[in-house]
Structure 1
Amino acid sequence: MIGDAANRLKCGLLLLDNHTHMERRTNGVISTLELRHIIECGFLPLSCTCQINPDGSLLIKVFDPSTDRVELLVTAVSTANLTSSRAIANLIGELRSEMNSRQTAFQ
């Protein structure tokens, strides 16, 4: 648990009630590169790839690095509302919940 927290801190997912340092630095607009990095780190210890589709939406693939088994694949996530750390954390939380509910359904 402590290692997971350390990884999240290292990846920039320290979420505060107010805006994070990153958001203040960019005036509330998060670059696509930063957004991808935050989302990819949000699924540790699993691996995640986050790609930008031609229409600007995200393709998010979460997989187990030891088996390459895909745990979640979402093909068209809109970035329109992903403008704060809270919105990004909510997205990651929703996707993690979806992943967990799918794993429970198959067990």
Structure 2
Amino acid sequence: MPSWIKWLLALRNGIVTPFGLKTGPERRSKSDPHLGFLPVVRQSSNCVVFGLDDWHLDFRVLLEVKERTSTQHEISVSTAVKTHNLVGSSYLALVKPFHRIVVPAMLMQVVSDH
């Protein structure tokens, strides 16, 4: 994860902690799979779904890899969010612009690392 994204997440966590929003995974077994700090909900050979449920909203991220050729792959990311209340709707409105910047940056990090 790029350092500026780590900084944004730390800032986000500092802001939302007093409101009781989750700032990372719940205590789970070390054998439970995670992608970063997010628990994996479901996975197969070419896709993984991860996300969290909280009192203000639930979200899922689908990361899918399609093989185009033996040396080229296409990576796609889709997100789904279900808000539960005004706090969830407000939070989503605030983070959505950052999400549109952070996800492509993280995908570029994956590409540059391989």
Higher relative contact order (CA 8 A, sep 6+): 1
User: Could you state the TM-score of these two structures normalised by the residue count of structure 2?
Assistant: 0.29
